Amino acid sequence: MPINKIVSSFDDAVADMQDGATILVGGFGVVAGAPSLLLEAVARKGVKDLTMVACVAGFGKDVWSLLGFKFPEDQDILVRNGQVKKAITTAPVSAIYENNFERLLRAGKVELEMASQGSLAERIRAAKAGLGGVYTPVGIGTVLQEGKETRIIDGKEYILELPIKADFALIKADKADRWGNLVYRRTTRTYNAVMAGAAAVTVAEVNEIVDLGELDADFIHTPGIYVDRVVVRPDVVEGAEVEISEAARQSHQKFLERKGN
C-alpha cells in the first residue's frame, strides 16, 4: 500500500493528544514559522496540563494587532486557554508587553523552566539523536546552572543538559510530499527542523503538498523518516480582526513609558 502521511484535517492531526502531554512547538515567533493552525486545533481539543517546549511562550493576537500587524495565532492561544502547566522556553515574556504567560506566572498558575536558545536546540536534538545529554559551557555562573551536573573537560567547566523527550512535535514547513519529506522557507526552518523527529509523533503543517519526486533529493531539509503526519493549510491564512483588550492596551502603554530604563 502506498505510504501516505497526509491527514485531512488539523483536528485529525492532533486527535490522539492526551492531557499531560509534552509538546514541542516549532518556529521562532509567529513571524517565523509557528504552526498556527495546529495550535488552534490543540486549543479546540482542549487537552490540559501540557508541558509546552518552544522558543517563545507567545505574544497573542491582540498585542500584534495593537502594534499594527495581522498575524495568525501563536503559542499564546494555549497559554491563555489555561492548557499549559509548564513551559520550557527561552523567551517566556515580552519586552514590550505583559503577555498572558507572565500574568499566569505571577499568579502561580504556570511553571517556567528557562533555557538558552542554543541549549534548548541541543536538548531537543539530543532526544532526536538518542543521546543521553550534551555538555555545554553556556550557563556556567548563571541560574541555568542550578541543580545541574557539571564536569571539567580539558580544563574547562561544562554543564550537562539533558534531552527533552516529547509526545508531540508540532511544526510548520513550506512544502511536503506524501512521504513526509519537508522543505522550509527562509527563516522559518528554525526550531521546526530541529523538532522534526524529536517526539513520539511529529505533525507538520505545510503551505503546499507536492507529488512524490517533485522535491529535489539534494534539497530536502527534513527527510520523511522524521515526520508522521502532514496537514495542509488553506490557501490564505490571515489573522482575523481582533479586538484589542484594555489589559493589552494598558500593559503596552506601561512598557512604552518604562522604555529607556
Residues that bind another protein (CB under 8 A): 28-29, 31-33, 55, 68, 71, 90-95, 102, 105-106, 112, 114-119, 121-122, 124-125, 136-144, 174, 184-194, 221, 260-261
Q: What is each CA distance from 233 to 24, 38, 173, 183, in whole angstroms?
A: 19, 10, 10, 15
3-state secondary structure of 246: helix
CA atoms of 60 and 72, how far apart (whole Å)? 9
Rounded CA gap, 246 and 249, in Å? 5
The residues, any chain, with a CB within 8 Å of residue 239's CB and separated by 6 or more, are 61, 64, 65, 69, 70, 71, 72, 73
| Cell digits of residue 105 | 506566572
Q: Which is nearer to another protein, 81 or 117 (CB)?
A: 117
Whether the CB-CB separation of 120 and 90 falls below 8 Å is answered with: yes
